[in-house]
């Protein structure tokens, strides 16, 4: 019997760092269980070079990663979405799209590493921290028994995961 594959979309403003990192991480940790996408409300048009280099260094999937508009997923031929996660760090000050339809949604805010101004070391540190937070949340999500939980229980778990932070030095 073929196992159901869930479609997941990670949304962010620029779709150049956080949502791209999340897409790659879930492709890795949820291989075979999820089809994963990312998009932005105001896409930058390119993947941030540090995000791409970090993913490649960690041997995480990078094939097909590109910065794109969330409008692609509102088109009639777009995949039906089961889950939509916003990963904008501060929803009050960033324009994060609200997804129409019936997918389960959650806000998993992470500070934007692409916004860090400083030395190269500080920028890399910000990207590693964003990856660490997202990886912790995605590993928890990908281990949920989604097929055996009802929608309400899944939605509660998604909200809790969005507040989960890894222990310092772990992840």
d(CA 99, CA 101): 7
Asked if residue 121 lies in contact with residue 129, where contact means CB atoms within 8 angstroms, the answer is: no
Q: Is there a catalytic annotation at residue 169?
A: no
Q: Is there a catalytic annotation at residue 96?
A: yes
Instruction: List Cβ neighbours of 40 (8 Å cut-off, separation of 6 or more).
Output: 11, 12, 13, 14, 15, 16, 19, 67, 68, 69, 70
Among candidate residues 84, 96, 114, 161, the one labeled active-site is 96
Q: Which residue in the block uniquely carries the two structure tokens 């949340």?
A: 137
CATH no. for 6-161: 3.40.50.2300
d(CA 94, CA 107): 13
Strands (E), 21-128: 34-40, 83-86, 104-107
Q: Is there a catalytic annotation at residue 31?
A: no
Closest CA to 35 of 1, 75, 76, 78: 78
User: Could you list the pLDDT tens digit for every one of the 171 residues in the chain?
Assistant: 567 899 999 999 899 999 999 999 999 999 999 999 999 988 999 999 999 999 999 999 999 999 999 888 888 788 889 999 999 865 545 555 555 578 898 999 999 999 999 999 999 999 999 999 999 999 999 999 998 889 999 999 999 999 888 776 554
Among candidate residues 88, 106, 146, 154, the one labeled active-site is 88
């Amino acid at each position: 019997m073929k196992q159901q594959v869930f479609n997941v979309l990670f949304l962010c403003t620029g779709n150049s760092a956080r949502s791209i990192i999340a897409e790659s991480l879930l492709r890795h940790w949820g291989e075979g269980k999820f089809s994963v996408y990312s998009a932005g409300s105001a896409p930058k048009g390119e993947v941030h070079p540090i995000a791409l280099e970090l993913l490649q260094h960690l041997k995480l999937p990078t094939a097909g990663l590109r910065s794109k508009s969330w409008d692609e997923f509102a088109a009639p031929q777009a995949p039906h979405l089961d889950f939509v996660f916003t990963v904008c760090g501060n929803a009050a000050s960033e324009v994060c799209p609200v997804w129409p339809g019936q997918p389960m949604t959650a806000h998993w805010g992470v500070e934007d590493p692409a916004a860090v101004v400083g030395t190269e070391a500080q920028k890399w540190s910000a990207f590693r921290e964003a990856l660490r937070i997202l990886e912790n949340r995605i590993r928890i999500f990908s281990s949920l028994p989604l097929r055996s939980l009802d929608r309400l229980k899944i939605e509660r778990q998604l909200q809790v995961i969005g507040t989960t932070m890894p222990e310092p030095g772990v992840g």
